[in-house]
Amino acid sequence: MTPLNRWVFRLLILTGALAPLGVRALELSAGQRAELEHPTWLYRPQGYVPVTNAERSVYVFLSSECPCSDSYVDELNRLSQKFPKVAFVGVHANPGEPAPAALAYFTSKALRFPVIDDQAQTALTAFRAIKTPHAYVVRQRDGKVLYHGGVGSERHASAEMKHYLEQALEQGDDPQPEQTKTMGCVIERKDSV
């Protein structure tokens, strides 16, 4: 089981793992647990080498059609290079965005980290993500969500924005604030499509 799979499984199973979000522990079906143990990768950069022994991971919900999400791709690529000991993983959970089109988009953007195909919306449900881009910083050893919210303070990435995700990563295990407002496009839920 890879570090990513171990973390996702622990996060969802451990009682209180999502307590910082005010969310009670989730009960997952056997099918959901099996899916999380073996995620389906939508995109993996050519030559990608997974981060081994990462202390923290960043999971960021992305869209191939949302202009807000698109505006943060360069910032996310920059952060993934600035923090090489942090495992960055994108999550694509929009049922209205066909996988082939999403794959073409992520490939054209030269994303430097892999993207999970979450069409079953298992990760979306677990994290309670709302918009794209919506970022989560997770401590690997116990699955605790240290930060969640926007990558930056603006709807579209700009030089004037506050760099929320970068600040959270720089602050280690006690980022302040722990939560910020997420700006972007609402993620479609399967039951509403």
- What is the reported pLDDT for 114? 94
pLDDT interval class at 141 (50, 70, 90): confident
CA 88 to chain centre: 8
| pLDDT of 175 above 90 | yes
Residue 139 CB neighbours (<10 A)? 16
- What is the reported pLDDT for 15? 29
Alpha-carbon distance of 179 to 193, in angstroms, equals: 29
| pLDDT of 25 above 80 | no
pLDDT interval class at 35 (50, 70, 90): low
Alpha-carbon distance of 160 to 86, in angstroms, equals: 25
Structure tokens at 43: 């995109």
Query: Mean pLDDT of all residues in the chain?
Result: 81
Structure tokens at 54: 């990462």
Structure tokens at 155: 């709807």
Least confident range from 15-19, 100-104, 158-162, 179-183: namely: 15-19
Average pLDDT on 132-147 reads 88
- What is the reported pLDDT for 122? 86
CA 156 to chain centre: 18
Average pLDDT on 43-53 reads 85
CA 40 to chain centre: 14
Look up the CATH superfamily of 3-192.
Glutaredoxin (3.40.30.10)
